[in-house]
C-alpha cells in the first residue's frame, strides 16, 4: 500500500517536471513532436531506473561505509555518465532495435538534471532499495506523462494563431505554467 502511495506521489503530486521543475531542457526541446516525446519518455524510464539503482548502491556501499558523503554529487555525475555510455554501447551491440528507437535520446540524458535530481531525492528521503526502484520508475513515468501531454498541446499550438512576440518557446513556457498549475490540484492527495 505504501509503495502504491509512493508511486502515485511520484507520478502526480511531486511530478518531476511540473512540480519540481527539473529536466526543463528536454521538456521544451523534445516536445515539438509526439513521436520524439514518446521516444524520449521511454529512454528516460530506462535510464532513470538504472541510474537510481546504481546511485543508491554507490551511496549505500561506498560513500556511507567510507564516510565520504560530501562526494555524493560529483561521484553520481561520474557514475551516471559512465552508465549511460555503457548502456548505449550495450544496446547498440545486443538490442539494435531498441537502440534504433532510443539511440539519439540516450546522450541527451547523460547530464540531465531530472535524472540527477531523482537520484539525490532517493538518498535524501532515505528510501530502501525497493522504494528506490518504485520511486525512480514512477518519477520517470511522471516525466513521460507530462512530456506527452505537453507534446500534444504543442502540436495544437503549432496550428493556432499565436501573437508574434509569444510564438514558439514563449507560448510553450506559458502553457507549461498552466499545465503545472493544473498538476497542483494533486497536492495533498498523498
Partner 1 sequence: MIESFLFMLGIGAACSIVLSFASKVFYVYEDPKIALVEDNLEGANCGGCGYTGCSAAAQAVVAGQASPTVCVISSSREKVENIAEIVGMPIGTAEASLSYNMCNGGYRATDKYNYLGVMSCKAMEIVFGGKRDCHIGCLGLGDCVKACAFGALIIGKEGFPVVDDDKCVGCGACEKACPKNIIEVRTLSEKLLKMNQQNDPLAPCSQTCPAEIDIPRYIALAKAGKYKEAVQVIRMRNPLPLTCGRVCPHPCEDECRRGIEDEPVSINQIKRFVSDFEMESGSRIPIKCAPDTGKKVAIIGSGPSGMSCAYFLRRIGHKVSIFEAMPKLGGMVRYGIPEYRLPDKVLDWELDGILNLGINAFTHVRFGKDFGLGSLVASGYSAVFIGIGAWEDYDLGIEGEDLEGCFTGINFLSRISQGEKLELGKTACVIGGGNTAIDCVRTLLRAGLEKVYLVYRRTRKEMPANEVEIVASEEEGIDFIFLAAPTKVVGNDAGHVSKLEYLKMELGEPDDSGRRRPEPIKGSETLIDVDTVITAIGQSPEASFKDQNPHRRLTELELTRWNTIENDPEVLTTTIPYVFTAGDAATGPSLVVEAIGGGRRAARSIDMFLKGEKITPASDSLRQKRIRESIFEEVKGIEKIKRAKMPELPVEKRLDSYVEVDLVLPEKDAIAEANRCLDCCRLCYNPDKQQPFV
Interface residues toward partner 1, by CB under 8 A: 58, 62, 66, 68, 70-71, 74-75, 78-79, 82, 85-86, 89-90, 92-94, 103-104, 159-161
Is the CB of 1 or the CB of 70 nearer to partner 1?
70
3-state secondary structure of 15: coil
Dihedral angle over CA of 132, 137, 138, 142, nearest 10:
140
Is the CB of 58 or the CB of 115 nearer to partner 1?
58
Is the CB of 90 or the CB of 129 nearer to partner 1?
90
Is the CB of 22 or the CB of 47 nearer to partner 1?
47
d(CA 122, CA 128): 9
Backbone angles phi, psi at 13, to 5 degrees: -70, -50
Q: Give the nearest distance from C-beta 43 to partner 1 in angstroms.
A: 12
Sign, CA torsion 58/69/11/152: negative
Q: Give the nearest distance from C-beta 92 to partner 1 in angstroms.
A: 5
d(CA 182, CA 19): 10
Amino acid at each position: 500500500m505504501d509503495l502504491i502511495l509512493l508511486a502515485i506521489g511520484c507520478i502526480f503530486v511531486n511530478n518531476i517536471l511540473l512540480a519540481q521543475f527539473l529536466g526543463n531542457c528536454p521538456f521544451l526541446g523534445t516536445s515539438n513532436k509526439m513521436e520524439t516525446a514518446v521516444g524520449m519518455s521511454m529512454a528516460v524510464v530506462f535510464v532513470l531506473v538504472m541510474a537510481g539503482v546504481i546511485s543508491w548502491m554507490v551511496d549505500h556501499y561506498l560513500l556511507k561505509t567510507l564516510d565520504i558523503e560530501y562526494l555524493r554529487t560529483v561521484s553520481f555525475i561520474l557514475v551516471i555518465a559512465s552508465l549511460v555510455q555503457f548502456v548505449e554501447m550495450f544496446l547498440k551491440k545486443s538490442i539494435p532495435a531498441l537502440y534504433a528507437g532510443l539511440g539519439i535520446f540516450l546522450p541527451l540524458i547523460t547530464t540531465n538534471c531530472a535524472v540527477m535530481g531523482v537520484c539525490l531525492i532517493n538518498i535524501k528521503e532515505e528510501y530502501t532499495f525497493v522504494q528506490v526502484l518504485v520511486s525512480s520508475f514512477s518519477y520517470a513515468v511522471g516525466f513521460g506523462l507530462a512530456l506527452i501531454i505537453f507534446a500534444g498541446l504543442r502540436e495544437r499550438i503549432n496550428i493556432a494563431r499565436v501573437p508574434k512576440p509569444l510564438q514558439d518557446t514563449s507560448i510553450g513556457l506559458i502553457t507549461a505554467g498552466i499545465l503545472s498549475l493544473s498538476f497542483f490540484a494533486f497536492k495533498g492527495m498523498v
